[in-house]
Structure 1
Amino acid sequence: MATIDLIVLGILKRESLSAYDIQKLVEYRNISKWVKISTPSIYKKVLQLEEKGFIKSRI
């Protein structure tokens, strides 16, 4: 599992958020200074984690 996977899963473990909200939290916590993580990569990773069954989307 990649670092971005762990970051996204770690954030979602605390609370249910949209990819947009995850990105805002990454910006707020300055996570991108420590790990190369971009807005498109967060959206892509959320979709991949859902396809693999690690997370479920809510409508």
Structure 2
Amino acid sequence: MHDNVFDGSFNGAPRSEMYRAQVTPELFPHEKPMLVENWPAEDLEAYCGGEYTYGYMKEAA
């Protein structure tokens, strides 16, 4: 278990810089904020559904 995102044991963890950027964004300017608007389309469809799903609110033929 990691207590601090800046702890050395957190190095190499998947997407560790994403979490560090939330605390010190000036050190990681290339990281986007963790917002749904920044997710790839396939993740929006898989995890959010609704308006992000192909064919949402379209009439059946």
TM-score, structure 2 as length reference = 0.24
TM-score, structure 1 as length reference = 0.24
Find the structure with the greater CA-based Rg: 2
